[in-house]
């Protein structure tokens, strides 16, 4: 039991709603000081007066801060530490839901959480002379299950989950415990005017199929605050707690990555699958229930394959012949290999989209030499720039007289420049997807189409070496699966490619791309990627061709170690809840 008595606490977004309730319950249970961090336009001053009136003078301060501004946040953090002569607990609570302003959502829900966490990590971490401490990052049940109404919000909360669980893996080095709170629908301002906060393009596609949030039972903020107190006192490092429907909180079990892979057709038909889970802290009844669910799910899939494999493959094979394709980050590496294999297999035209400083012109010349004049065009673009991306999208559609497939492949790994990582790996993917969604979608007069979003195996399992990169790829999985849920309305199939370690420039100088603070914590415990067997880009390209032709809507395919691709199984979080 973690003793919160005499602890100092910083809470972002604490001038109202859940943040205020967290401050109140922590003070009531012995916290010495609380810093209420919120915008200048918030009710912060009045909140502090109310709390001081109940709990005594000088126990609470209000600090004005826009946590999306790096300098502002850093100064605020230092001010709080100096005022309280230390900090024991950080609760990253500030967040918004408004998918029409989704870039702001990513900045606040993702970037600010990463920034706050790393400030606390550096101050508290034993590897930097600190005494340890606690970081609580607020996600949501929308970070555990895709939701078509909240696609961008889902992306942000999936990112928080991946980042936080990655950071938690460093506890033995740092003494900083990291836990995650995932509230369900709660009576706060977050969900007011719910329909208006759904992305316009998605709202058009959904039509009348949008729930009336006014009629949905919401749990109270007091109930969630009690769960937060419990999580702080009892939550194990890396734990993800769900509190929903006003019921007692549960902890979410995450089966190991390897147990969630469904080997494609031939494996299910010809091999013995072991229906076992690895959960040391689970009681016997839960293990038995989960193993039975796993066995049922796999057998159901196997039976479907046995009955329908040949016919299903013939009937649903997506014909790429004469299709037009746009691929971002296609001047080199995997993007170039995707271009090459698609042209080799009958695609009509490919737009190679990459930076003006890239090898794009030479790449197109090589492709035209192999596959004929006019098969490819190079379009220079920085996909992190909204206007630029929109203009080149229109240019490609006009040039090709249409677009059938978009592959959002552009991405980087450099956790030192993690804000750029989020901008390219998350924002640019969302932007590209929505441009394609609007053009291709049947709800807007299009003929349907295909979006392939490139994630990674670290978008499916946390990794302490790549915490920020993990966040970005978790976001892509959550966003893509949410968008895929609208297929029946749009005719736009969305699939996800998750490669493992591949021989590209992405992993060159691996150690130097790890975040400085994390590298300091890890010390010598960093793998040498040069000694790890990398799969070839040609192998991943073949898997991409397969995914485009055969991947079901919403599927996430994993290709690693030069092995056949596998489909990732996503059991509902409701099947993985354990009692506290």
Per residue in 473-488, pLDDT (tens digit) is 999 999 999 999 999 9
**Interval 148-157: pLDDT, tens:** 999 999 999 9
- Give the residue-averaged pLDDT of 513-524: 95
First to last CA, the chain: 13
Q: In this structure, what is the dihedral angle of CA atoms 316, 321, 325, 328, given to the nearest 10 degrees? A: 80
Confidence category of residue 35, pLDDT binned at 50, 70, 90: very high
Burial status of residue 216 (CB atoms within 10 A of its CB: 0-12, 13-18, 19 or more): exposed
CB 107 within 8 A of CB 27: no
Task: Give how far Cα 424 sits from Cα of 312, 382, 412, Å.
Answer: 36, 9, 7
**Interval 97-130: pLDDT, tens:** 999 999 999 999 999 999 999 999 999 999 999 9
Alpha carbon distance 541, 344 (integer Å): 12
Give the per-residue pLDDT at 295.
60
**Interval 319-337: pLDDT, tens:** 999 999 999 999 999 999 9
Report residue 431 CA to chain centroid gap: 15
Bridge partners (DSSP) of residue 496 are 453, 556
Give the per-residue pLDDT at 298.
53
Catalytic annotation present for 101: no
Sheet of 492-499: strand order equals 261-263, 566-568, 556-559, 492-499, 449-454, 405-408, 324-328, 349-354, 376-380
The one catalytic residue among 22, 123, 153, 171: 153
Summary mean pLDDT of the chain: 91
Helix (H) or strand (E) holding 326: strand 324-328
| Token reading at 533 | 């067997």
Write down the pTM of the prediction: 0.92
């Amino acid at each position: 039991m973690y003793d919160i008595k005499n602890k100092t606490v910083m809470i972002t977004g604490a001038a109202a709603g859940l943040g205020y309730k967290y401050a109140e319950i922590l003070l009531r249970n012995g916290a010495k000081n609380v810093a209420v961090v919120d915008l200048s336009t918030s009710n912060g001053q009045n909140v502090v007066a109310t709390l001081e009136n109940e709990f005594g003078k000088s126990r609470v301060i209000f600090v004005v801060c826009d946590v999306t501004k790096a300098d502002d946040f850093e100064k605020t953090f230092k001010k709080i530490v100096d005022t309280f002569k230390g900090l024991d607990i950080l609760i990253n609570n500030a967040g918004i839901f408004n998918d029409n302003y989704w870039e702001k959502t990513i900045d606040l829900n993702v970037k600010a959480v990463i920034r706050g966490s790393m400030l606390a990590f550096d101050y508290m971490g034993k590897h930097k002379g600190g005494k340890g401490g606690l970081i609580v990052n607020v996600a949501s049940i929308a970070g555990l299950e895709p939701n078509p109404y909240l696609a961008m919000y889902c992306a942000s909360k999936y990112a928080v989950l991946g980042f936080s669980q990655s950071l938690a893996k460093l506890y033995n080095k740092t003494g900083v415990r990291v836990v995650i709170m995932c509230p369900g629908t709660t009576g706060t301002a977050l969900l007011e005017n719910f329909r208006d906060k759904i992305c316009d393009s998605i709202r058009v596609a959904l039509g009348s199929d949008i729930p009336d949030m006014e009629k949905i039972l919401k749990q109270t903020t007091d109930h969630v605050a009690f769960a937060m107190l419990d999580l702080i006192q009892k939550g194990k490092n890396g734990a993800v707690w769900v509190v929903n429907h006003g019921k007692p909180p549960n902890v979410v079990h995450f089966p190991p990555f390897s147990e969630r892979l469904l080997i494609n057709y031939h494996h299910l038909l010809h091999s013995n699958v072991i229906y076992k889970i690895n959960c040391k802290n689970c009681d016997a009844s839960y293990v038995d229930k989960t193993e039975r669910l796993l066995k049922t799910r796999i057998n159901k899939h196997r039976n479907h394959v046995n009955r329908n494999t040949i016919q299903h493959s013939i009937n649903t094979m997506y014909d790429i012949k004469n299709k037009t394709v746009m691929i971002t980050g296609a001047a080199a590496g995997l993007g170039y290999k995707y271009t090459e294999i698609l042209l080799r297999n009958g695609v009509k035209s490919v737009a190679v989209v990459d930076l003006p400083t890239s090898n794009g012109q030479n790449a197109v010349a090589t492709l035209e030499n192999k596959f004929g004049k006019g098969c490819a065009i190079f379009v220079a673009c920085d996909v992190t720039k909204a206007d630029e991306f929109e203009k080149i999208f229109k240019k490609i559609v006009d040039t090709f007289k249409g677009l059938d497939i978009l592959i959002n492949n552009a991405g980087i790994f450099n956790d030192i420049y993690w804000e750029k990582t989020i901008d390219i790996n998350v924002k640019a993917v969302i932007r590209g997807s929505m441009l394609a969604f609007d053009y291709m979608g049947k709800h807007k007069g299009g003929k349907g189409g295909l979006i392939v979003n490139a994630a990674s195996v670290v978008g499916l399992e946390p990794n302490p070496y790549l915490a920020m990169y993990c966040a970005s790829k978790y976001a892509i999985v959550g966003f893509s699966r949410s968008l895929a849920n609208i297929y029946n309305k749009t005719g736009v199939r969305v699939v996800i490619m998750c490669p493992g370690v591949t021989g590209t420039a992405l992993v060159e100088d691996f150690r130097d791309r790890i975040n400085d603070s994390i590298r300091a914590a890890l010390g010598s415990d960093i793998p040498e990627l040069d000694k790890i067997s990398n799969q070839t880009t040609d192998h991943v390209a073949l898997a991409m061709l397969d995914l485009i032709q055969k991947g079901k809507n919403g599927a996430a395919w994993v290709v690693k170690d030069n092995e056949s691709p596998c489909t990732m199984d996503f059991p509902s979080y409701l099947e993985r809840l354990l009692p506290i």
